A and B are shown apart, each in its own frame.
Chain A
Amino acid sequence: MIETYENILQIAVLAGCILVTVIRSVERKSSLWTILTLFYGSWMLGDIYWLACLAFYGMTPQISVVSDLSWYASYIFLYMLLRRASPPDLTSGTKGLPLAGSIFALGMGLFFMHWGEILSNLIYAGLFGLLLYAAITRLQERRAVCLSVGILVFCFLEYGLWLSSCFWKSDTAANPYYWFDLLLTACLPFFLFATHKAVKE
């Protein structure tokens, strides 16, 4: 039951964020706001799908492809948001740390394969490797620094969420899974601020 309330809260936060981004997209005519709308939209659709399956059929999807697809899409939109917020010919800085981020994502992907499907974990590892690489590379870019920090925090919370789901199964508030999910929900509106900064710079 706590998962349902948690999902409803996340959907409400995302709906509020979408409202803001749609208004900003129309007012400012900036593609950054539109990409952010797509990020929030994909994430929210995945949540609604999951919640609807639980509410109307009393179970999670038999084949979890659709909700996974929506989350893949949201990570890709986040990556595209970061790319668009920074210069395309970004070559500055060392490559060691960003590569370490990608290798970490790959390692975590291999670890999660013990619990989940091989293909979906490979895709998640690839997308998070890309996100971590792009975010660490752009940490010194003035226009994208907020977005990069936001993405790093987001990735950290996602890994916390997934790790806790491997080791704790209880449906109570004591489960760290719900704490990480709540923190993730709280982190989502930060991208509004980060995008605002990127548009203003």
Chain B
Amino acid sequence: MNYIENIYVCLAAPLILAVLYLRGSSRRALIFLLAGMTTCLLSAYISAFATGALGVDFAAASYEIAPVVEECMKLLPILFYLIVFTPGPKEAISGVLMTAAGFATFENVCFLTDYGTSNLLRMVIRGFGTGAMHVACGVVVAAGLLLLWDMILPRAFGTFALLCFVITFHAVFNIFVSQTGPVFWIGSSIPMTLLLGYLLFIRKRIRLF
């Protein structure tokens, strides 16, 4: 039995203390990291409830329920930030990415407590695969928000569309990594490849952020 809320308290406590002493952008970044971890914890509860309520088996829940819940939850902190504080695009984008990183970190910690830490290769694949997937989803949402920033009417539409896009990407990733053999390797490497491709070929040219 895993008590993920206990793990959460243990991990979040030092970060909360640091938030009290930090100022400016560092403080904002840490708050988003914490928000990402919190949404991960809440997503686990909601996904478990939805799985039980809809009577779906565990495998199906991983690609039919978890992506929807996780991506919606991950977007909530940034939506709150956008609506309440009306930040500039750069701040909003940093927020999206830090939330994604916080989410992936807490998810990985929960994975470690479930499956142990003895297999380094598995840890590397898990760390980079899932981590890259969450960050890649964050990059898509952030890039899309910046792209759609000046269009007032379709902003809500665009955000919904981006959310749908990353949910499907997440679901496809979960299907691939739940397989064995080459499918698992391909699935794990896709987000990392996309992120590397973005960093090497696209970021310099389009200078989104």
Binding site for B on A (CB under 8 A): 22, 25-26, 29, 31, 34-35, 38, 41-42, 45-46, 48-49, 52-53, 56-57, 61-63, 65-67, 69-70, 72-73, 76-77, 79-80, 83-84
- Within the assembled complex, what's the spacing in Å between the Cα atoms of A72 and B167? 12
Q: How far is the CA of A63 from the CA of B64 in the complex (A)?
A: 7
Residue numbers of B with Cβ under 8 A of A are 54, 56, 59-60, 63-65, 67-68, 144, 147-148, 151, 154, 157-158, 160-165, 167-169, 171-172, 175-176, 179, 183, 201-202, 205-206
Among candidates A25, A73, A76, A79, residue contacting B206 with C-beta atoms closer than 8 Å: A25
A83–B160 CA distance with the chains assembled, in angstroms? 17
Chain A proximity of B150: nearest CB distance (Å): 10
Given the complex, which residues of B lie within 8 Å of A72, measured CB to CB? 160-161, 164
For A76, list chain B residues within 8 Å (CB).
157-158, 160-161, 164
Q: Is the CB–CB distance between A73 and B168 below 8 Å?
A: yes
Question: Least Cβ distance of A7 to chain B in Å?
Answer: 13
Q: Is the CB of B157 within 8 A of A46?
A: no
B206 touches A45 (CB 8 A): no
A22 proximity list for chain B (CB < 8 A) = 202
Interchain CA distance A22-B202 in the complex, whole Å: 9
The answer on a CB contact under 8 Å between B165 and A45 is: yes
A-B contact pairs, 28 of them (CB 8 A): A26-B205, A34-B147, A42-B168, A46-B168, A49-B168, A49-B171, A49-B175, A53-B63, A53-B175, A56-B175, A61-B63, A63-B54, A63-B60, A65-B68, A66-B63, A66-B67, A66-B167, A66-B168, A66-B171, A69-B164, A70-B165, A73-B162, A76-B157, A76-B158, A76-B160, A80-B148, A80-B158, A80-B161
Given contacts A46-B168, A52-B175, 4 further A-B contacts (CB under 8 A): A25-B202, A45-B169, A53-B175, A79-B154
The chain B residue with its CB closest to the CB of A76 is B161
Q: Closest chain B residue to A64 by CB distance?
A: B64
